[in-house]
């Protein structure tokens, strides 16, 4: 008996369109596996900055408390921790920058990183290790800035670093740097004068209530009924006191209302 020949086998011909669609079908098939991974990566917060130390050269000084340092060939911004120097638009802002530049610019420093702030700057302690005068090596830039009166102890963010508080007291008593002024304006007040205004509004209401309950004093003979003694904090027809040097204005009842060396009374609209 003769065998019947097997039917021929025809290979399916692959069209150009099928070659284009095949990768897409594979991708769509993998999506259920990929999506959970993507969601997990998106939901994972960035890791917190770890405490570290590195040595590098100071290549720029932005202001009194902010410098740029080379780390592994890359320039990184470092904010001196526990210290707040005057803003550049403030009195002593330029001098604080000059002091930091004179001490650290072009020098090799060690940066002990403690954290990273919301702007991505490294928060740390900066110590001179090379390139400076022999007497300067080993000095801490954070501490020297406060010691010489070109910065405040930033106690609201670093309450445990009390050594900076001691250095600030020393600078105040010796009237170094900005402490030569009777009422230097803290940079956090300069940056947010509205906070002082809000405090002043509350104090103003308290003073107004006390004034309603007390008899009005008689004007001094030949005096001006509208004059406001600068040391009493009395309200000058609802006007604010503007420090003409720093630009900060103080509401009636606040600490420096009518007390700065340079200033004048203005309405709130004029002050703004």
Q: How many residues does the chain have?
A: 272
Q: Tally Cβ neighbours within 10 Å of residue 190.
A: 19
One of 95, 121, 207, 245 is an active-site residue; which one?
Answer: 121
Inter-residue contact 266 to 249 (CB < 8 Å)? yes
Distance separating alpha carbons of residues 126 and 80, to the nearest angstrom:
7
Inter-residue contact 85 to 187 (CB < 8 Å)? yes
Nearest Cα neighbor of 115 from 45, 163, 48 is 48
Active site includes 39?
no
Active site includes 121?
yes
Inter-residue contact 95 to 150 (CB < 8 Å)? yes
Inter-residue contact 209 to 272 (CB < 8 Å)? no
Distance separating alpha carbons of residues 263 and 191, to the nearest angstrom:
18
Active site includes 147?
no
One of 87, 144, 148, 168 is an active-site residue; which one?
Answer: 87
One of 79, 110, 147, 168 is an active-site residue; which one?
Answer: 79
Distance separating alpha carbons of residues 265 and 228, to the nearest angstrom:
10
| DSSP at 121 | P
Distance separating alpha carbons of residues 203 and 211, to the nearest angstrom:
12
Catalytic residues: 79, 87, 121
């Amino acid at each position: 008996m003769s065998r019947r020949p097997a039917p021929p086998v025809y290979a399916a011909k692959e069209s150009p369109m099928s070659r284009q669609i095949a990768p897409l079908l594979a991708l769509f098939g993998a999506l259920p596996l990929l999506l959970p991974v993507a969601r997990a990566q998106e939901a994972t917060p960035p890791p917190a900055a770890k405490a570290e130390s590195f040595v590098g050269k100071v290549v720029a000084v932005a202001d009194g408390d902010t410098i740029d340092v080379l780390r592994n060939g890359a320039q990184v911004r470092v904010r001196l921790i526990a210290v707040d120097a005057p803003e550049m638009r403030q009195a002593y802002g330029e001098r604080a920058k000059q002091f930091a530049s004179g001490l650290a610019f072009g020098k090799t420093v060690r940066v002990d990183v403690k954290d990273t702030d919301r702007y991505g700057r490294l928060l740390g302690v900066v110590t001179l290790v090379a390139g400076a005068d022999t007497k300067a090596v080993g000095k801490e830039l954070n501490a020297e800035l406060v010691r010489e009166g070109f910065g405040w102890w930033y106690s609201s963010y670093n309450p445990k670093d009390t050594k900076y508080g001691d250095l600030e007291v020393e600078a105040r008593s010796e009237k170094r740097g900005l402490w030569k002024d009777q009422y230097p304006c803290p940079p956090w007040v300069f940056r947010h004068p509205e906070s002082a205004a809000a405090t002043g509004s509350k104090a103003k209401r308290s003073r107004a209530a006390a004034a309603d309950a007390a008899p009005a004093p008689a004007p001094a003979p030949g005096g001006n009924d509208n004059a406001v003694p600068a040391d009493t904090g009395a309200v000058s027809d609802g006007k604010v006191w503007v420090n003409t040097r720093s630009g900060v204005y103080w509401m009636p009842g606040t600490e420096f209302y009518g007390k700065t060396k340079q200033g004048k009374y203005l309405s709130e609209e004029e002050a703004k």
